[in-house]
Structure 1
Amino acid sequence: MLESRRHFLRGLAAAGGILLAPWSLHAVFSSLRTAGTDNPPHEQTRLMMGTLVSISTRSPLSQQTAEAVEAAFAEASRLESLLTRHVSSAPLGLLNRQGAIRDIPPELRQVLSLSFRISTATKNAFNPLAVTVAEAKRQGVRGNGLKRIAELSKPEALRLDDSGLRLESSELLCSLDGIAKGFIVDAISGILNRHGVSDHLINAGGDIFAAGSPGRQRPWTVGIMNSDGRIARVVPLCGMALATSGNSESLARGYEHILPAHFSAPDARRLFSASAMAANAALADAYSTALFALDPAQAEKTAARGGVEFIPMPA
């Protein structure tokens, strides 16, 4: 049986590093290429959300652009504080300790609503409660015990209504790690656009949104690496998002942070990574998580139903 929430969260903190890296840093590296532009784009990078977040804008850097980038990073920091589960005083931190919360920020409600829609669209391959199973497995739960936890961890066990947000079992944990980073990337893009900076690329640890052009009306281009560390696919992006999910980094630390979906073929070989291209980063982020959890055949069908382009990278 899982430990109590409070004891369990203390154990995570003591394990070293887990709570210091709230968002998984995917092993698949996204590479900006700018050949043929007049000047290299100007790039500013901050450590946020447990990863490096970069904002690239068209050169030269103006005062207006500099102020826009600062405003965008400030908004990202604000949203991170509302959507993380890794801070005990944050809404999800409180939910995971107490089992219920009444005060739900509008942004959190928005991300939760989108999460429920994507859970339904992917037949629960995307699941905000899947972290419960992953953490139980980290604790050594196996066999029937793990199966019982998986049965508890259906998305419908997370209830959102006018009275607040609650978990149906004291053993459950909620995480928006598979969608919140994309949501924040979209918010960054919105801030930049409102400040008149229409040419930009945002890269938050593999969750990318590109708008406009780096120069000469060329698209931004992103490279997706394979398991050998080589760029296997170059994707042009303009007004689109690309997100990549994989387990390479977490496996190097001895665990899987994305487990196979319950209806994936048990003998199917898992991918090295799954990338999803969509109209916005929140959608791409959530779908890349779901597609990686599925076997490749199921992932292809799920992406097609959702109108998302699926880019698999074999192991």
Structure 2
Amino acid sequence: MSDGSVERALGALVVGDVDGARREVSRGGTPLARALAEHLRDDGHGSVYDQPAAFEAFIRGGGNVGLYAAVSAALADLYDRHRPTSVLDVGCGDGTALLPALAAASHHPGRLDLLEPSAPLLDAALREVGRWQDAAGSGTQVTSRPTTAQVLAADLAAGTGEDATWDVLQSTFALHTVEHGPRTEVLRRLRPRVDRLAVVEFDVPDVAVGSPEHVRFLARTYEQGLAEYTDDRDLVAQGFLLPVLTGQLRPGAVRATFEQPAGAWTRQLEDAGWADVAVRPLHDYWSSPAFLLTARGGAGAV
């Protein structure tokens, strides 16, 4: 439970008052207040993926265990119902969502393309996919791209990439890292190359970034989320959660997330030309409920 110091500190960060934020959390006694004080001690800069081990510890602990189980089950169901021959995973990370889905599904795609800008996470995903192939005797052809969705979409639109299409494009908690305007263009450029889209994101409150309502929401939910970790709490806080938290608010900080409510995702996909956009709840989570969004593109493959 927040003691108010984090909310006041975050409010100070919104207006660029780092010293004021430090003073507020120096008087706080909650796990998040102590973590924020440590984060701001060295001025609080850094990228979310400076420490891949922190991200991996985060997604393998706390509420993420149940969350990713639900995500993987939804992907496995998608594979078995639609039987895609080709899948593109945008922002695959280290494969935490992908690998259990492949293991649980009875149908496996003939081609699997992995897109991930973090080289250490992509290497980890490739190792795990290789182990799955050996165990399952799978003949799935795997390719990897150490880049972003923006670069891929631009290359395809310019004709500098290969002339690829995919039966399924899936993305789990990754497209929110692309700014809102560029994301619409990425989705528009990818649509002719994809038959079916499956996106998993969080249905965040519809409040203005940096507003008092937003600050209160972040203080409450991040306190709850951090409390779910014990042995890895410092690693998760400093290497992942705190950069994500402060990056949303602090002027000039590296922002790692551009989340939006589920309704805004629907409108954005429709604006980008996708059809049959549908959203269904997937899993309750400490931050916001997760949902699965599906849509039809222009490839017409499956």
Q: TM-score range by the shorter chain?
A: under 0.3
Comparing both structures, which one devotes a greater share of its residues to helix? Answer: 2
TM-score when normalising by structure 1: 0.27
More strand per residue: 1
